[in-house]
Amino acid sequence: MRLLNTYAGYLVFLLICSCTSQQTKEHTESVDTPEYALLKRTLPNHADQFIIELDTTVQEDWFEIDSRNDKIRLRGNNGVSVASALYYYIKNIVHGQITWNGTNLNFPETLPLLSEKIIKKTPYEYRYYLNYCTFNYTMSWWDWKRWEKELDWMALHGINMPLAITGEEFIWDNVYKSYGFTEEDLSGFFSGPSYFSWFWMGNLDGWGGPLPQSWKESHRDLQIKILNRARELGMTPVLPAFTGHVPASFKRIFPDAKLKQTNWGNDFEDTYILDCDDPLFAEIGKRFLEEQTKIYGTDHLYSADTFNENTPPSNDPEYLSNLSKQVYEGMRSADEEAVWVMQGWLFYSHRDFWKAPQIKGLLDAVPDDNMIILDLATEIEPVWKRTEAFYGKKWIWNMLHNFGGNISLFGRIETVATQPAAALKDSTSGKLKGIGLTMEAIEQNPVLYELMTDNTWNTEPIELNNWLKSYNLNRYGAVNFKLLEAWDILVQTVYNGQTIRDGAESIIVARPTFEGYRRWARTKLNYPAEDLLPAWDLFVEVSSEFEYSDGFKYDVVDVTRQVLANYALPLQQQISYAYKNGNQEAFKMYSAEFIELIEDLDRLLATRKDFLLGPWIADARSWGTTPDEKALYEQNARDLITLWGGADNRLHEYSNRQWSGLMTDFYKPRWEQFFTEVQNNWSDFDQNQFDEAIKTWEWNWVTTEKSFPVEASGNAIEVAKELHDKYRSKIEPLIAKMQPIIYDY
């Protein structure tokens, strides 16, 4: 009996040791994993209060959160699922938030445990992220530190399918040099770093170059880091494939090649596309993917966009079918598991060409399971509804939202809250497999991105009012009824998503004019400007209660910025009215007020790093290894956000930014010159003559080297209050006075 008791005790001892060993093993595994490293980067002071477990036996993405041994346990099938569990805990249990424009991680020293297990599954196999344009309008100058932060953001927000096109110039360089092209042959081919998106898509060659070899090599290394981190977190990156874009010197190396000469809007030199029937097309396509796979690996997802914003030479469905067949076969020859991921932008941007027969012809040549279509701007126009859900192909519902990186409060918030789930339940939605974010730029309007990514773990439409209460709590650290009222106003005004395609711009950023509209400074609002004023009042009224809230300080600046940006139009039209009526005294008075408004906006924007020009310029220069390289990169950075291209480029102001530094160094002196020219030529001012003359000044600004502050200055709340006191009583009367004069631009 004693022996039995001893044996039983020994078994109990072994069991205890086993359990202890298992717990230790779980903890040891978690602290050595990419998932735990992300946790430590996100919550460095609380990481030891979590346990992380991976269970890859179930392929569908899922996560669980519960408490075990006085710790919070995060379980999931991969890193993205575990990170999503962490962010779910942050938002729903301790009420925090992580956005580009304001973070709230003010938590107690000991985090609360859970009384019940939380289990979430996603109905979306794919959660896509990025647009070719994002890589330039926002990411042109990112280093690894910034990319690491974004990859964490992706994982926390459930992204598992990011576009990954950094460092592609290194692959193209290797491939073309393998065919005997020299540095001289390629010097006019590679664009500058601000223009890779359009270079990769075959829209332009050479602009902003020549591209230094140091850039190609440094960004090869950066891409390797990006891909390694994405893959270890469980993401499947989308890499590019060959679509026929070749250097102008191609004809010298291959005189018999069949080339198509194209031009993207007559603002840049012609580019050359190799005909898909030419045997070299398949050969180069295969070599491109082989070289890319050798250096970057592959996840078998390839982005390829034919005729991006260019019209094909034929609308014959058979021609288009043969084209897509050749592109796909080029992928498949290098990778039998290749899946073609196509941006569906052309079906929206060139809808007059892409009718049902043409779309069907392009898509039908590729097996259904080997193609995924990105309905790129579903919240604007759901192309899937007029294409029978892309004729049987897998497709992804995307929010595009931002164009050009413009700074404007705007969005289709109700659509984003309800329509992904509505499409999911629609019997005609075919092979809807995912949701995504395909904005041209990020780091603005964080509410839209928090809302869109919250669809990931939901099958039902999001009830917006309740969601906004949670958003306010997470963002500001408290629910304030006046702020909820302000957000109701924002929903009905800036975020109502009606009338216009994308956010309205301020007349301040337009090349100076008496008109209320310039092509890329579209000033038409989707709401009466005066309707936004009560939201501004409420933000300012409660501001003293939220002086320690990062998210609130961003929002009060952004709302103030939007109100004053709107106010610029009736003020500018008062200037126009004074000129047309020959009232020089009124012209001088209102012109001075307009310049003062720009100065005040600059001072407001300077209080938040989010709205500074300085980091954009400094980050660009940081990549240069010589003074000449630094100057080239600064010119690229300046050009994209002002003229976009050359002095005569039709895209000028397309990527305008309401940034401190840009306000007083570019927009203000440009308007001052306009006002001076009008006064000096009062009776015979010539707008066209001014436009031609100002181009020289603008180009000189683009080619200037000058640093700007890289850190914020001033108190955001104090400046917002000051400007509210200064302008609030002026705005409504002037809007009312100018209403009959301001046309529907």
Q: Is residue 520 within 8 Å of residue 436, measured between CB atoms?
A: no
Closest CA to 680 of 587, 577, 590, 595: 587
d(CA 210, CA 248): 15
pTM, entire model: 0.94
Examine the pLDDT at 128 and tell me if it is beyond 60: yes
Radius of gyration for the chain, computed over Cα atoms and rounded to the nearest angstrom: 28
Same structural domain for residues 70 and 106? yes
Examine the pLDDT at 741 and tell me if it is beyond 90: no
Look up the CATH number of the domain holding residue 98.
3.30.379.10
Widest Cα–Cα separation across the chain: 118
Same structural domain for residues 177 and 297? yes
d(CA 362, CA 352): 15
**Residue 729 falls inside a structural domain:** yes
The predicted structure's pLDDT at residue 739: 66
Structure tokens at 510: 């337009």
The predicted structure's pLDDT at residue 314: 87
Examine the pLDDT at 8 and tell me if it is beyond 90: no
One-letter identity of residue 445: N
Structural domain count, the chain: 4
The predicted structure's pLDDT at residue 508: 98
Last residue of a domain, one of 384, 412, 440: 412
Closest CA to 475 of 158, 105, 112: 105
d(CA 455, CA 436): 10
Model confidence band, residue 414 (pLDDT cutoffs 50, 70, 90): very high
Q: Dump the DSSP string for 370-407.
A: GEEEEETTTTT--GGGGTHHHHT-EEEEEE---STT--
Same structural domain for residues 17 and 59? no
Model confidence band, residue 521 (pLDDT cutoffs 50, 70, 90): confident
One-letter identity of residue 490: L
Half-sphere exposure of 99 (CA within 13 A, CB side): 29
* Total Cβ atoms within 10 A of residue 104: 23
One-letter identity of residue 604: L
Examine the pLDDT at 253 and tell me if it is beyond 70: yes
Q: Is residue 434 within 8 Å of residue 124, measured between CB atoms?
A: yes
Last residue of a domain, one of 60, 86, 121: 121
67 φ, ψ to 5°? -115, 140
For residues 648-652, average pLDDT = 93
Same structural domain for residues 576 and 659? yes
The predicted structure's pLDDT at residue 312: 82
| Host domain of residue 391 | 127-412
**Residue 370 falls inside a structural domain:** yes
d(CA 396, CA 19): 45
Q: Is residue 169 within 8 Å of residue 216, measured between CB atoms?
A: yes
Closest CA to 393 of 419, 426, 371: 371
Examine the pLDDT at 745 and tell me if it is beyond 90: no
DSSP state of 526: S
The predicted structure's pLDDT at residue 26: 39
- Looking at the chain, the whole-number percentage of residues with pLDDT higher than 70 is 95
| Tens-place pLDDT, residues 341-363 | 999 989 988 888 999 999 999 99
Task: Determine the 3-state secondary structure of 163 from DSSP.
Answer: strand
Helices (H), 233-274: 250-253
260 φ, ψ to 5°? -110, 125
Same structural domain for residues 211 and 288? yes
Is the pLDDT higher at 320 or at 29?
320
**Residue 615 falls inside a structural domain:** yes
**Residue 459 falls inside a structural domain:** no
Examine the pLDDT at 21 and tell me if it is beyond 80: no
- Looking at the chain, the whole-number percentage of residues with pLDDT higher than 90 is 87
Residues 6+ apart with CB under 8 A from 358: 315, 317, 320
Structure tokens at 526: 């989707």
The predicted structure's pLDDT at residue 18: 39
The predicted structure's pLDDT at residue 305: 86
For residues 443-468, average pLDDT = 98
Same structural domain for residues 14 and 103? no
Structure tokens at 565: 């940006």
d(CA 170, CA 295): 10
Model confidence band, residue 19 (pLDDT cutoffs 50, 70, 90): very low
DSSP state of 239: E
Residues 6+ apart with CB under 8 A from 25: none
d(CA 558, CA 719): 12
Phi and psi based region of residue 102 (left: phi greater than 0; alpha: psi -120 to 50; beta: remaining)? left
d(CA 552, CA 500): 27
Same structural domain for residues 518 and 613? yes
Most confident of the ranges 3-7, 8-12, 197-201, 463-467: 463-467
Examine the pLDDT at 4 and tell me if it is beyond 70: no
The predicted structure's pLDDT at residue 605: 99
The predicted structure's pLDDT at residue 351: 85
Measure Cα distances from 612 to 150, 317, 505, 627, 712 in Å.
Answer: 19, 49, 18, 23, 8
Q: Is residue 46 within 8 Å of residue 89, measured between CB atoms?
A: no
Please list the residues that pair with 397 across neighbouring strands: 375, 435
Closest CA to 505 of 618, 408, 613: 408
Q: Which is it for strands 431-437 and 126-129: parallel, antiparallel or unpaired?
A: parallel
Examine the pLDDT at 693 and tell me if it is beyond 80: yes
Examine the pLDDT at 10 and tell me if it is beyond 60: no
The predicted structure's pLDDT at residue 265: 76
Same structural domain for residues 91 and 137? no
In terms of residues, how long is the chain?
A: 745
Last residue of a domain, one of 412, 443, 474: 412
Same structural domain for residues 668 and 560? yes
Residues 6+ apart with CB under 8 A from 405: 137, 138, 440, 441, 444, 641, 655, 657
Least confident of 214-223, 349-358, 590-599: 349-358
Residues 6+ apart with CB under 8 A from 415: 379, 497
Look up the CATH number of the domain holding residue 609.
1.20.120.670
**Residue 696 falls inside a structural domain:** yes
Q: Is residue 331 within 8 Å of residue 340, measured between CB atoms?
A: yes
Task: Determine the 3-state secondary structure of 549 from DSSP.
Answer: coil
120 φ, ψ to 5°? -135, 140
Same structural domain for residues 178 and 274? yes
Same structural domain for residues 374 and 258? yes
Structure tokens at 83: 């990170």
Q: Nearest-5° angle of CA 53, CA 151, CA 549? A: 95
Examine the pLDDT at 495 and tell me if it is beyond 50: yes
Structure tokens at 709: 């502050």
**Residue 399 falls inside a structural domain:** yes
Examine the pLDDT at 301 and tell me if it is beyond 80: yes
Please state, rounded to an integer, the average pLDDT across all residues of the chain.
93
| Tens-place pLDDT, residues 33-56 | 999 999 999 999 999 999 999 999
Q: Is residue 620 within 8 Å of residue 675, measured between CB atoms?
A: no
Is the pLDDT higher at 635 or at 12?
635
| Tens-place pLDDT, residues 94-122 | 999 999 999 999 999 999 999 999 999 99
Same structural domain for residues 262 and 388? yes
**Residue 461 falls inside a structural domain:** no
Token look-up 């690894």 returns 144
Structure tokens at 392: 């049987």
The predicted structure's pLDDT at residue 264: 86
d(CA 207, CA 564): 35
Closest CA to 76 of 87, 68, 67, 65: 65
d(CA 29, CA 712): 41
Closest CA to 128 of 438, 590, 538, 508: 438
Cis peptide before 210 (omega within 30 of 0): yes
Residues 6+ apart with CB under 8 A from 69: 23, 51
**Residue 67 falls inside a structural domain:** yes
